Amino acid sequence: MGVCVSKAARLVVLVSGSGTNLQALLDASADPSYGARVVAVGADRDGIEGLARASRAGIPTFVRKLGDYPSRAGWDAALASEIASHKPDLVISAGFMKIVGAPTLEEFPLLNTHPALLPAFPGAHGVRDALAHGVKVTGCTVMLADAGVDTGPIVAQEAVPVLPGDDVATLHERIKTVERRLLVDVVGRMAREGWTVSGRTVRIGNPSGGEST
């Protein structure tokens, strides 16, 4: 699969919480040379700072709550149709704490960011689980989502040390400082240069035009 994006790539960003990764993307895309812009922000719940950040930036928002639908399939279809209405080149799960289903995955590339070095510590509690395991190094992973939980092809990773006395909050903050920079870097390069996926290998850059990774 090869994807090449020209003009500013259209990003739909999905959030469930504080939205600091979203904010990093909003800040980066203020520079036209970044090559991507956030065209909509979606959430699975109301009243979160991620939605407030989008509103302050003048970006349209939508909320699709799982509990408002009789079935998971209904929610998946509604989420996919709302995402499609914004015509994204790339969808980004930036702390969206729901598994995004087939209707979206079959239509759009979905980039996901996770606060651990996959395949270690997948799921909703990557920081807690790494700390509980006693690892000395953890980090963050940016991956293309597939149907599994944090199992998709890895685009980029960066290590972060676990320090004596860390709790989940201090360790997560240290990871997020790195994660925001990594996500902004990866999204910008994917938007400007396109990408290819071959099996589990993701390469950013046009193979005929010289690769950058």
Contact positions vs ligand GAR (CB under 6 A): 15, 17-22, 50, 94-95, 113-115, 124, 126, 176, 179
How many C-beta atoms surround the C-beta of residue 154 within 10 A? 18
Q: What is the rounded radius of gyration, in angstroms, for the C-alpha atoms of the chain?
A: 17
Residue 118 three-state SS: coil
How many C-beta atoms surround the C-beta of residue 151 within 10 A? 14
Q: Which tokens is 52 given?
A: 């407030």
Q: Which is nearer to ligand GAR, 80 or 94 (CB)?
A: 94
Q: Which is nearer to ligand GAR, 50 or 88 (CB)?
A: 50
125 is catalytic: no
Q: Which is nearer to ligand GAR, 35 or 50 (CB)?
A: 50
Strands (DSSP E) along 4-66, which ranges? 9-15, 36-43, 61-63
Q: Which is nearer to ligand GAR, 142 or 205 (CB)?
A: 142
Phi, psi of 168, deg, nearest 5: -60, -40
How many C-beta atoms surround the C-beta of residue 94 within 10 A? 27
Strands 110-114 and 90-93: parallel
* Least separation in angstroms between CB 20 and ligand GAR: 3
Residue 36 β-bridge partners: 9
The answer to whether residues 146 and 197 touch, using CB atoms and an 8 Å cutoff, is: no
Catalytic residue (choose from 86, 114, 125, 172): 114
Catalytic positions are 114
